[in-house]
Every structure is written in C-alpha cells, then in structure tokens.
Structure 1
Amino acid sequence: MIYKAPDFAFEASPIYDAIVIGAGAVGIPLAVKLARKGLRVALLEAGPGKPRQASQALFERARAVGHALAGLHLGRFRNLGGSTAFWGGQLVPFEPIVFEERPWVSPATWPLSHDEVARHYEEAFEIIGMGDVLRSDEEVRRALKLPPLEATETIQPFFTRWARETNFAVAFAEDLKSMPNLDVLIEAQVSSLSLEGTRVTGAMLTLPGGRRVAVRGAQVVLANGTIEIARLLQLPDSAGRPAPWADNPWLGRCFMDHVDIFAGRIEPTDRKRFSELFDNAVLKGIKYAPKLRLTAAAQKRDQLVEISSHFVYSSSISESLSNLKILVKGLLRGRLNWRTLSDPLGILGSLRFVVPMALRYIRYRRVMNVADRGILLRLTSEQRPREDSRILLADTRDAFGLPEVLVDWRISPEDLETMLAFAQHLKAYLEGNGLARVEIDPALLERSASVIEAADDANHHMGGARMARDASQGVVDPNCQVFGSDNLFVAGAAVYPTSGFANPTFTAIALSMRLADFLLTKEKGAGHATAS
C-alpha cells in the first residue's frame, strides 16, 4: 500500500522484517522481491509520488567542487521510481574482465566473481518484466537478419537491451499499491539511522514541518542512490552519536562516473549497410541498440580501461523528433506527456519523416535515424578509481536540517590514453570494413588536456561505499553488509570497486536480487517463516 508519510499511523506500525530506504531502480525491485517472499517490508521514499519541482529543488544546492558534474543536479530524482521516471532504460551486464584483477586500473578488486553476479542477471530481467528478452547477441542478429559484422582482436560489436517499461513506479504499480505486507511511504525523508550498539533498529524520518518519527525494522537496506547513501552513512545516528562505521577510511571515497566525450565525426561510405548494422531495433517492445566496445584482450595487452562507443545522429529536427517519439510512445501506453506539446510546429515539421520511419519500423523493426547535420562518434569510458574523488558533507544545511553535499569528482589524465587508442581502433575497424570514414578529433590525437576538461559525466554515480573483503579496503562486505554493523546493508552502485563502461543500473538490480536472497536466509534463520 502507498501512503503519504505525514498521514501514516506510525504509532501502529509494526517492527518490519526489512526497511528499504529509496524507492528507485534498485529499491523497488528489492522491496517487491522481499515482500513477494513473505517478509513485512517498509519502502521509504523521500520524494512525492510523482516528480515535482519543489522536491527536486532540495538537490540544487549540492555542489561539485572538482570536475564539473552535471548529473549532481540533472541525474538525481526525489520521487517514487527515482531516476527511472526519466532514464532511457538501458540494461547492460558487466563484462567478466570488470571482476578480474586489473592492477593497471585499480589495486581494488571485486570480492565477487563474475559468475556470482551473472547468475542473478536472469532474475533481474524477470522481475522487471523482461523474461522474454533475447539473451544472446546472436539471437538478436538472427531475428533481425543482419549482415555479418565480425569481432577483431580490438573491437567487439554487441547489443544493449532497454527496459520495456522504464518507469518502475509504473512497472511495479500493482505490487506497490496492493501488497498487504508492503508499506510504501512517500515524502518520508530519512534524516538518520537509529542504533543500539552495532545494530540498526530503524530509520528516523523528518517529515514536512519538522516532525520526527521512527520506523523500526530488523534489517535495513540503503538503496537511495550513491550520493545519498554516502551522505547518510556519514551522518551521526538519531541520538547524535558517531556511527560505528564513521571512521572507515573508504567512506565517501573513490566516487566514480563514466567519462563521456565526442571523439570525432563519422561519414558512412556504405549508408545502407551502416544503417542495417547500427540502427536501433525493437522486438516485442524491447529496444536493442547496436554498439562497439574494446575487447578484453586489447585492454589486457595495452593496459586500458573498459570503453564503448555509439553514434550520435545530429539533426536540425532532433528535438521535435524526440518529442514526437515520446508522444506516440505515451499515447500507445494510455499516457499523454504534455511536455512534448510545447513545440507543436516543430512536431508538425518533423511529420515528413514519419512515413519512411514508420515503414522501416513496420517492415524491419528498425528505428531510422535522421542525420542531416552529420554523425558524431561518442565514447563512454570507465574511469580509474581515485581516493581523492570523494562525496563530502558541506557546512551548510538543507530544508530538513541535513548537511548538504559536496562532490569532488576527479578523473585520471591517463584515462585519455584509452580514449585515443579506442578511437584509433574504431577508425581502423569501420574503414577496414568499408562502412565509414572516421575523422578523429585533433585535440584527442594531440592528447590535449582539454579533452578531459570538456568530458561529460553520464549520470552514473558509483562508489563511495565500495565492496571489499575487510574494512581496511572498503565499506561493505561481499554480502553488501556495512562493516561495523550487524544488520545494515547497501544496495546500488555505491558498492562498486570498479565500474567497467556499462550503465550501472542492471548490475545494481542483479546485486539487489542476490542481497534479497541473503536477507531472506538471514530472516529465516532468525525464525521468520518465509513463503515459498
């Protein structure tokens, strides 16, 4: 059931089996799985049921004091569903090399193997309603009858999958509204954790107007996003005392994002084949996006980080086409997005492309790209973790009386070598296959520092509570339990020691499914009889 926290009867609430803080891409699937298995769960969301400007304004005073971090304000959302109300829904599993020892990337390594995480990707697909997704790239190629495009020693073609329903507040609406053992509290800002020794007894909420109330639970999971997780872990407990984990030297450190740059321009030489190979496809409502990545063999040989590429099609009507796509997609789902109607003349002007786009989609299930202003080469790179890249608390306070956030994001200059090497490999690959000519950005060829200075973040916040085998190397153990606590866990990309190039969300969901299994076993051992 969904309740507004200011109206909820806290005095009559039970001691929950689990409290999940944060109702976003990770918190919702985690809470739903636990509730489906019979646990009594409280899911706490700081924001309202739908995005509101007043709620988002609480993030505006957060500051980036290192490299520019647009996602500090544009990539975080206080509402039921969190960032899933706005993201594209890209789902990319981590490659095995991310979990291997890579001393040229970081002395830190994952205390989990790829297989220990990969077995939960299947459940992650199932729980978000994508059990019918094509698992292998070869299946996608056969379904689309694509011409062959072979991998080389340096370049690997692959597909990313995109969620059928991107907004998890919608995808899980029936569970959130109807499950009798799941209480969803919106407008429930957690201001501190309540502690008895090393055991977290619950969460203290500060409600609009300043009223403070407690929610009690046997297990507590932080799933409220990388930056908010790091902030909450650094705060005193509800009695004003330092938490047992407060002196962990890794808390808030090794903050990461993906580093995005425009690396050059693309001029197709075989436009038909280029389009066949690289236009997005939609099969049974699931989008498959063709991309290229650097192979693990090349990374090991040349000591490079993980990196991938995609093409950005620049068009004079790109915004209007985007609004038209959103409008049609919403109407097909019975929802009208009024924002798309802000430029009706632009939408009308883009209608001349609708017929060829519709015919290509109907006949081939491919999404035609309009590029009258050219095609740009976009790279998304892993970054080497740095101890001085940090999430900190400011001296100023927000409307709830909590310290505001400072993020000091640092990017290592040597990451530029990966970008240049990959761009050169892509040029050889595309030109060698007769697909396109590639003009690499001269600044990148010159290894100019301006390339890193102009790099964008990807709204993919990671690190700050990294996973390790012991507290001397990280904040949480391989089960995502916070060192120094008996029952506090972290779910999400905050636990990543390294990141690879992939969007972090899918692996975070898979890890939350793994964490749910651990919590269910823990509760069963404590005497709670879970449902089968």
Structure 2
Amino acid sequence: MTVARERQNRIEADVVIVGAGPVGLALASRLADTGRRVAVLDSGGPIPAPDHDLGTGTIDGHIPYFDLAECRPRGLGGSTGLWGGWCEELDEIDFEPRPELVDDRIATGWCLTRKDLDPYYRDARAFCGIPDVVPARDWLRAGEVCVRDCPFELRSFPVLGPRRPGYRGWDPCADERVDLLLGATVTRVVTTDRGDAVDHLLVRTADHELVVTGRAVVLAVGGIETARLLLSSSSAAWPTGIGNGNDLVGRCFMEHPHIDAVRLHGDPAALDIEFFLERVGGVTVDGERMATAGALVLSAAASRAAGVGRIQLFIEMAGDHAKHPLPRLRNGRRVSARYAAPGPRELAVISSTEQVPNRDSRITLSSDVDRYGVPLPILNWRLTRTDHRTAMFGIEAAGRLLRELGATNVRRRLPRDRWPLDTLGGPHHLGTARMADSPADGVVDGDCRVHGVTNLYITGGAVFPRSGYAPPTLTMIALALRLGDHLSPAPAGR
C-alpha cells in the first residue's frame, strides 16, 4: 500500500473505499485477502486530526453537541484516537423490529439477525486483536441483584483504549494489494446519466483534482459525512441527492445520549464500583495491554415488558462525567455545563440510552461551503419522548436497586420533562443512510447497497436502522467484514 503517490489524473481499482477509519480499514483488509485491487481514500494524513475547514459544521436545535470537526478527526485510523475501545456486541432484540418505540411508521428492524452477524462479530474481535478468552469481571453484589426482581443484567467487556484496530496485525502501509491515498478528499460522487450506477468520484488533493473509478464504491465515512456527500452529489437523476428519492438521506440521526443520571452516597468498596471501571486485564493478540469493564444493562425482557428501548449504566465517582475533552456547541456558541462540587464519598450513575429513530433528527446542508466548495453539514439532534422514557425507566430502576444495596441520599438528576444541559453523545454518528428492505423505508438494502444504484455501498454507523444499547464500533467492523465477503466474488458491475 502506498501512502504518497506521484501526481496523476486518474486511478482505477476493483473496489474504492472512501474513509480510512476502522471500518474502511477492516473492509480493505478483507478484500485484499481475496486478491481484489483496492483503493482507500482519506482526506487526512498519517495521524488523524481535526480539519476545521473540511470537518466543521453547524449545531442547530435545543441540544448542544460536540464540535463536528473535533469529533470527526480525518486521517489513517479515523476517529479511533477518540475511541474508548469499548467492544460490546448488540443483542438479538437490538436487530428486531420494535414498532412500539416510534411515533410514526419508521421501520425499526434490521435486514439481518444477530445470528447472521455472529461469524462477523468473531472476525471483528480478531481484527481488533481481542483474544478468544477475555477474563470476565464479577460484581461483588451480583448475588443480591440476581435474587431480586431486577430488570438489569450484568455485562463485562474488553476495552482496548484509543488504537487503530487491526493496524499492528495488518499494516495498511505495507500491503501492495491496496493503494492508500491520504490528503485525498472526495468532493462529489458522479453517477451515470440514468443515476443507476456510480461512474466516478471527483477527488481533490492539495494541488490538483483527479478522477477515481471502481467497479464498486463504498462510503465508510460515518453518519455525518455520508449524508453530506450523498446530499451534495445531486444530479438530474437524483435532484435531492443520491439515494434520496424518498427524503431519507440524513434523517434519523441517532446517538447514545449519556447523562450523569443519579447521585448517591455510599461506600465505593461496599458497592464495588471497581466492577464498572476500566482495569487492565490481559493483553491483545498483538501484545497491547487490554482492560475490561462492567455495566448494568436493561434486559431484553424488561425492555419489551416496559415498552422502552435499552439502556446501560455505570457507577463511578461523582464529577468524572464533566471531564469530557471535546468542546460542545449550540447555534455557534460554546456550551459548558456547571456542576456543583461533588461531596465526599458522592457517587454517580452514568446512563447511556438507546436512541430510537426519529425523522426530525437529521443532517441537512448549509449554504456555507468548505475550501473545495462542498456544502457544510447542519446537525439537528433531536430526542423523542420514548428516549426520555427509556432513560427514566432505567434510572429509576437503578435508584431503587441502589437503595436496596445500602446507598443513601439517592437522587435523580434527569428532569421529568427535558434532558439536562450536560447530556453528551458517544460521539456515535448513526442512522443517516439507514438499512431497510424497501427504498420507501431506507437508503441501503441488506447488503448495504444503495437502493437504485448498482455499485454504490455504504458501511459503518450510517446504515444502522436502530442504535441499540451498545457502543457501535465492533458492530460497524462486523458489518464491514460482511460487506467484504459480499463484494469478494465479483465487485458490482463485473
């Protein structure tokens, strides 16, 4: 794989992948093993970093959100420098239709089941360097929880920390089967006159423009940039953007809203908060130190019975939630949440809630453009009554449980009618090119191919029809590996 190339006007490959984050690299490694000629394009450099021209955007609406440039670093490895390395898999319920969670007729199920993704989860764990056996964490209060009518399950999972998954096991800079073009920004996806196939990509570097062609083209650039690129690549065949014949591109933006949900007094040792904290517990396959952590997760049975989404919770020392390094903005202004200083022995319960799809939570285009003339994105992140009800259900159940375990002065911080100012995202950018069997319900099909375009695919968080309860990176890598197998027999158009 080459990182720098001599100036040229045209590049051809069997498969062109836009984006060199963990998803794009996982897909490239899978395809390289089959002998396909692969080109990977990324607008950043060898070290991921924010680009405050190409990556900026506007935060609209009532809920503040991270500075879009800061939470979307560009370059080899993508956002893995921000990634906490939490590797959790979705459960079967997270793939199933849950129409009771939405207020309109949005499709809520995936086009595949958990069983379909099982072999790819195994491969995704291997790609990330996770060993076959990971030491399990035990909560000292587990026995008491299990004998109560408790809606939670205990989970423990590997934590890799910020790293490039697969980078040491498969070096993208040393693989001659793949061309890596860094500093290469895709400015437009150009389709044929009929709009039924991608003809080429227009790509800008620091000093010239080139054309890139592939028998298959894959967008692996995240939920915000995917929507931006599709919407801005309008044509006579696709007047409102590629794949947007039913006004779905950019809609249903989802996150996992994190809040400092409950404050309490208790003995950290008696409540065994060590279970919830990251602690080194082994090494990865490539010799890196690996941690594990634990969580309380709302069970599938409890979620169905209550008619709410899923939620997971963690207990930590109060005040840690306020230390997030990324700046947050709203309507162009920086937003800071003010906290009262935590008291001695004060603990906090941090909740991470599944967000259900909502058409009004979306990415649109601004009249402002970047240095290459591409419109910048506007994010309007909106949460629904169901999201709030899910959070409230899980938080109140956690409060009852903690009182039974001996905690005192347990008080909920989530207001009954709104989200607090310190609500954070993952940052996880999901759902803006959602998967569905019909183009009336989604942008891509079960093979991640854009409806109506024979050789254009999308992978990563953009295709999630529901966010599920867990951090998405491991699922995103599994989807990329699955797409690699789909493209391996013969790239589309061959």
Same fold (TM over 0.5): yes
Partner secondary structure for residue 190 of structure 1: strand
Matched, 1:21 2:18: yes
TM-score (ref. length: structure 1): 0.79
Of the three residues 426, 435, 439, the one matched with 2:410 is 439
Secondary structure in 2 matching 1:176: coil
Name 1:292's counterpart in structure 2.
Answer: 296
Alignment of 1:301 onto 2:305: yes
Aligned to 1:254: 252
* Structure 1 residue identity aligned to 2:490: K
SS at match of 2:233: coil
Structure 1 residues 19-418: aligned runs within 5 Å: 19-52=16-49, 55-70=51-66, 72-106=68-102, 107-108=106-107, 109-134=109-134, 140-141=136-137, 148=143, 150-151=145-146, 152-163=149-160, 166-168=163-165, 170-171=167-168, 175-196=171-192, 197=194, 198-209=196-207, 211-236=208-233, 242=239, 245-269=243-267, 271-272=269-270, 274-275=272-273, 277-284=275-282, 285-314=289-318, 374-418=346-390
* Contact 1:32/1:175, CA 8 A, preserved across alignment: no
CA contact (8 A) 1:71 1:459 kept: no
How many aligned residue pairs are there? 461
Percent of residue pairs bearing the same amino acid type: 30
Quote the offset at 1:150 in angstroms. Answer: 4.6
1:461 aligns with 2:429: yes
Corresponding residue for 1:490?
458
Paired amino acid for 1:112: L
Does structure 2 conserve the Cα–Cα contact (< 8 Å) formed by 1:258 and 1:460? yes
Cα distance change on mapping 1:471 and 1:52 into 2, 3 Å: closer
Task: Tell which deviates more after alignment, 307-316 or 383-392.
Answer: 307-316
Equivalents in 1 of 2:235, 2:186: separation in Å? 10
**Whole-angstrom CA distance in 1 between matches of 2:484 and 2:81:** 24
Tell whether the 8 Å contact from 1:25 to 1:84 is kept in structure 2 after alignment: yes
The two structures, once aligned, show a CA RMSD in angstroms of 2.9
Q: How much has 1:292 moved relative to structure 2?
A: 0.6
Post-superposition Cα deviations, 1:284-315, rounded to whole Å, max 9, x if no partner, equal: 23211111111111111111111111123247
Q: In 1, Cα distance between the equivalents of 2:2 and 2:250?
A: 32
Task: Report the equivalent of 2:337.
Answer: none
Amino acid at match of 2:440: S
Residues in 1 aligned to 2:99 and 2:471: alpha-carbon distance in whole angstroms: 22
With normalisation by structure 2, the TM-score equals 0.85
1:456 CA drift (Å): 2.1
- Structure 1 range deviating more: 466-475 or 279-288: 279-288
Write the distance in 1 (CA, Å) between the matches of 2:58 and 2:165. 26
| DSSP 3-state at the match of 1:282 | strand
Moved more, 483-492 or 515-524: 515-524
How far apart are 1:200 and its partner, in Å? 1.3
Please tell me the residue identity of whatever aligns with 1:439.
V
Moved more, 474-483 or 296-305: 296-305
Superposition deviation, residue 100 in structure 1: 1.6
Q: Is the 8 A contact 1:394 1:405 kept in 2?
A: yes
Give 1:427's aligned residue. 399
Q: Alpha-carbon deviations, 1:203-246, whole Å to 9, x = none?
A: 2102224x220111111100011100011111236999746634
Return the index of the structure with the highest Cα Rg: 1
The separation in 2 between residues aligned to 1:484 and 1:524, in whole angstroms, is 13
Q: Secondary structure at the match of 2:303?
A: helix
Deviations 1:142-194 (A, max 9, x none): 7x99974654540111113222662348436x521111111111000000123
| Separation in structure 1 between the aligned mates of residue 158 and residue 385 of structure 2, nearest angstrom | 31
Matches of 1:105 and 1:241, distance apart in 2? 32
**Structure-2 change in CA distance of 1:177 and 1:516 (3 Å):** same
Query: CA separation in 2, counterparts of 1:487 and 1:422?
Result: 43
Q: Secondary structure at the match of 2:481?
A: helix
What are the Cα deviations for residues 38-66 of structure 1, in whole angstroms up to 9, with x where unaligned? 1110010111211446x344323443345
Residues of 1 paired with 2:276 and 2:386: CA distance?
Answer: 30
Provide closer, same or farther for how the CA distance between residues 150 and 264 of structure 1 changes in structure 2, counting only shifts above 3 A.
closer
Q: Deviations over 1:98-147 (max 9, x none)?
A: 1122122234121211211233100001112223342xxxx6147x9997
CA contact (8 A) 1:281 1:288 kept: yes
1:501–1:443 distance in 2 versus 1, CA, 3 Å:
closer
Q: Which moved more, 1:270-279 or 1:295-304?
A: 270-279
Report the alpha carbon displacement of residue 431 of structure 1 after superposing the two structures with TM: 3.0
Equivalent residue letter for 2:291? K
SS of structure 1 residue aligned to 2:490: helix
Tell me what 1:348 maps to. none
Deviation at 1:270, TM superposition (A): 6.6
CA, structure 1 residues 241+231, in 2 after alignment: closer, same or farther (shift >3 Å)? same
- The separation in 2 between residues aligned to 1:519 and 1:498, in whole angstroms, is 24
Shift in CA distance, 89/71, structure 1 to aligned 2, threshold 3 Å: farther
Counterparts of 1:415 and 1:246, CA distance in 2? 26
SS at match of 1:120: helix
Change (3 A) 1:176 1:372: farther
**Contact map agreement 1:463 1:494 (CA 8 A) in 2:** yes
Distance in 2, matches of 1:43 and 1:260, equals 33
User: Which AA in structure 1 matches 2:23?
Assistant: V
2:377 and 2:429 map into 1 onto residues whose CA distance is: 14
Contact 1:40–1:181 at 8 Å: present in 2 too? yes
The more displaced of 44-53 and 58-67 is 58-67
Higher helix share: 1
Aligned counterparts of 2:188 and 2:413: Cα–Cα separation in 1:
50
Residue in structure 2 matched with residue 342 of structure 1 by the alignment: none
Could you tell me which amino acid in structure 1 is paired with residue 84 of structure 2?
Answer: G
Amino acid corresponding to residue 30 of structure 1 in structure 2: L
